[in-house]
Structure 1
Amino acid sequence: MGISDKLNAALSKEAATAAPGYSRWLMAAAALLIHFPLGQAYGFSVFNGPLAKVLGASLTSVGWIFSVAIIFLGLSAAIFGKWVERVGPRKAMLASALCFFAGFLVSALGVVAGSLPIVILGYGVIGGTGLGIGYISPVSTLIKWFPDRRGMATGLAIMGFGGGALVGSPLAVNLMKYFSEGSQYAGIPATFVTMAVLYLCFQLAAVRIARLPFAGYQPAGWVPSKLEAAHIASQGADDFSVAQAIRKPQFWLLWGILLLNVSAGIGILGQASLMAQKMVGISAAAAAGFVGLLSLCNMAGRFIWSSFSDKIGRKWAYAMYSGVGALAYWAIPGAAAAGNMLLFVALFALVMSFYGAGFATIPAYLADMFGKKEVGAIHGRLLTAWSMAGVVGPLVVNAGRDYLVKTQGLADAAAYSTVVYVLGGLLVAEFVLNLFVKAPETTSNQQMPAQLATQ
């Protein structure tokens, strides 16, 4: 048996199937290890200024690196979702790790060559493909390990993605500072290579410990609901394939819910520092701390609220994210006008926690609707909403603010207040869409009472 054959065997679903006694929490750790490096993407903006100077490009042009990465995240998740389900978590995680690694290396070459398109190809296209494959790679496996705590499990993994920038941003800044001495490239290529190697080590550890549950696995002491028991008895016969799911109105309702949730939140993330400075007059240094706090809330919300959704149900959870979130958005301008800094920060923290929760709870919502058999592939298709939101959210905030200031003559604070009201309106639309979500008919639920079928 050659090396490639041995590697293929080691990465197969058969080799990745756990023996009895394997702790499901190890799979949760693997998900964190694969997601935490990928979350560095949220902190890529620390490279924007140095890259603009080294490449002689505008900040707007450099901003396309992150935008292209998010676009390819959604596209690759949609394209490779079915493949991820077929080959299992180990091969998918390795593919993600190698793409993310290669993306950094190609970007480093692009900086040395003075070519922004090569950097976009590296981090945006190749690295973005790694982001998409890696983002969905542990999802369906976690749901199979944690049928009793779907929201908590997916929240735990996706929390890693949300928190990656908390380490990635200061790491990048300090590495650039360390390597910048005597470097005509501001230390960026060496920083890219160093981060590539460090992140690859974390992700290879994830590949090593990832396992699928063995046949017949159920958590000790877990009593399935009547609807879950029907799925188990039918051996997944009622689970939807990705082709079936995307033809259901429930899929497109959830697609719209994710689009609106992410559009509202991602628009804030990109302009939070300036918003705080203009609306409540804090310093740039204080605004940086404010942004850091929002990142923590984004990360914490992914775990706390998604875990809470296991208790109250996914539909009620999204009603809270959108309904309470809209009220919080609309209260922000009043808090700013009153000079109530504590309330201003608390409201922003709340909406950012709901933003993170929207990401983390959606895989469990999909599993509730369509079963767990191909939930990773279905989730991948749904993430095209994230790609769209990466355009819609910043457009609402940036273009809306520019229009109000330059055309309508509003002051920055008033312009941002108006934009925040619009973002709240997006969440109202999300709330309405969520009202129409109900479980699709299957052979096991079509004769059940409506309240049971929507559990």
Structure 2
Amino acid sequence: MIKTRNRYVIASAGITLHLMIGGVYAWSVFTGPIVKQTGWAEASVSFAFSLAIFFLGMSVAFMGRLVEKFGPTSSVCYGLGVFLTEIAISNQQLWLLYLAYGVIGGLGLGAGYVTPVSTIIRWFPDKRGLATGLAIMGFGFAALLTGPIAQTLMASFGVSSTFYILGIFYFLVMIIAAQFIKKPRQNELPKAVIKKASHFSLTGQNMTANTAAIMVGILGLFNGAGFSVIPVYLGDVFSTRELGAIHGYVLTAWAAAGMVGPILLSYTHQILHNYFVTLVVFIVIDLLALIVSLALQRAFAGMQEQVNK
């Protein structure tokens, strides 16, 4: 008889993994010390973060099915990227910083972000919003933890050694957490849980990830802070069969925004010496996103009525 795994252990492992990769948002803590040690321009150092976010989105888009199949073990690339960042700083090699933190670290971020979410949704079909919200909360909460820890480490060991320490720590914790993040086997979920869950999919079980991407890509384009809502919404609309791949397509918009946004913001501030125009543009985009969301909600409601008939 196959032993049933505890789904709360899987959820805890997902939260732990997100706590590790969420440290990427503490990059601003490192920017000043790196500039001081290497003499690189601040914009050049900041670009490493943009590159990491870009490769996060692009990796899950083009490798979504592979990540979904083999699990989040490849997320350890983030720890490896952080470790190699120490070598880049020590040897003052800017190209290596981009390769280590931006490319390798970004690939690890992609694997570590999507897989826990899509897996947890499968374990909590009755509590999708709560489960994925907790996991993604770890991603956002990580910066709050990483900032003070990084400051303490840099004060004690220096900026280079801090990346060395964090890289090893991330690698070990993530590779252990990844071993627990597995999809539920057939008949492993309690019948009571399955009964409570809604299996309704507005588009049916046979929609491909490519087709779904066309329908939801526009939502990802205007995505701001709804990370915990997006995977649940996608699961409800397209089912969880290819959730990792579909979620990856949506995150390509986030990747593009992470790449272009900081550059555009710096450029407009340099010319206008304020952020007013940029903020107005963001407000207009958010309003367009609201209109698109309401239109899609009405369209899906109509589809649901037809199915119920």
TM-score (norm. length: structure 2): 0.89
The one-letter amino acid paired with 1:250 is: M
The one-letter amino acid paired with 2:161 is: A
The one-letter amino acid paired with 2:281 is: V
Quick one: which of 219, 228, 233 aligns to 2:199? 228
Question: 2:187 corresponds to which residue?
Answer: 216
Quick one: which of 199, 207, 218 aligns to 2:178? 207
The one-letter amino acid paired with 1:258 is: G
Q: Residues 49 and 448 from structure 1, CA distance in 2 versus in 1: closer, same or farther, beyond 3 angstroms? A: closer
Q: Deviations over 1:37-93 (max 9, x none)?
A: 100100011111111122211101111110111111111111211102222x3xxx2
Q: Give yes or no for the alignment of 1:166 onto 2:144.
A: yes
The one-letter amino acid paired with 2:81 is: G
Question: 1:95 corresponds to which residue?
Answer: 74
Q: Residues 368 and 229 from structure 1, CA distance in 2 versus in 1: closer, same or farther, beyond 3 angstroms? A: closer
Question: 1:35 corresponds to which residue?
Answer: 18
Question: 1:250 corresponds to which residue?
Answer: 215
Question: 1:198 corresponds to which residue?
Answer: 169
Decide whether the 8 Å contact of 2:219 with 2:293 is kept in 1. yes
* Number of matched pairs: 308
CA distance in 1, matches of 2:168, 2:96: 20
Question: 1:116 corresponds to which residue?
Answer: 94
CA distance in 2, matches of 1:79, 1:122: 20
CA distance in 2, matches of 1:440, 1:141: 28
Question: 2:110 corresponds to which residue?
Answer: 132
Query: What SS class does the counterpart of residue 187 from structure 2 fall into?
Result: coil
Question: 1:11 corresponds to which residue?
Answer: none
Quick one: which of 380, 385, 388 aligns to 2:248? 380
The one-letter amino acid paired with 2:215 is: Q
Gaps of 5+ in 2: none
Q: Residues 147 and 382 from structure 1, CA distance in 2 versus in 1: closer, same or farther, beyond 3 angstroms? A: same
CA distance in 1, matches of 2:87, 2:230: 37
CA distance in 2, matches of 1:237, 1:103: 39
Point out which structure has higher relative CO (alpha carbons under 8 A, 6+ apart). Answer: 2
Identical amino acids, percent of aligned pairs: 35
Question: 1:293 corresponds to which residue?
Answer: none
Query: What SS class does the counterpart of residue 192 from structure 2 fall into?
Result: coil
Question: 2:159 corresponds to which residue?
Answer: 188
Q: Residues 377 and 447 from structure 1, CA distance in 2 versus in 1: closer, same or farther, beyond 3 angstroms? A: closer
Decide whether the 8 Å contact of 1:258 with 1:385 is kept in 2. yes
CA distance in 2, matches of 1:217, 1:360: 25
Larger radius of gyration: 1
Decide whether the 8 Å contact of 2:60 with 2:114 is kept in 1. yes
Decide whether the 8 Å contact of 1:67 with 1:390 is kept in 2. yes
CA RMSD of aligned residues (A): 2.8
CA distance in 1, matches of 2:32, 2:50: 16
Q: Give yes or no for the alignment of 1:423 onto 2:282.
A: yes
CA distance in 1, matches of 2:299, 2:246: 15
Question: 1:241 corresponds to which residue?
Answer: 208
Decide whether the 8 Å contact of 1:367 with 1:375 is kept in 2. yes
Matches within 5 A, 1:402-417: 402-405=270-273, 415-417=274-276
CA distance in 2, matches of 1:396, 1:94: 34
The one-letter amino acid paired with 2:151 is: V
Q: Residues 425 and 219 from structure 1, CA distance in 2 versus in 1: closer, same or farther, beyond 3 angstroms? A: farther
Displacement after TM superposition at 1:423 (Å): 2.2
Query: What SS class does the counterpart of residue 430 from structure 1 fall into?
Result: helix
Displacement after TM superposition at 1:260 (Å): 2.0
Query: What SS class does the counterpart of residue 109 from structure 2 fall into?
Result: helix
Question: 1:184 corresponds to which residue?
Answer: none
CA distance in 1, matches of 2:191, 2:169: 37
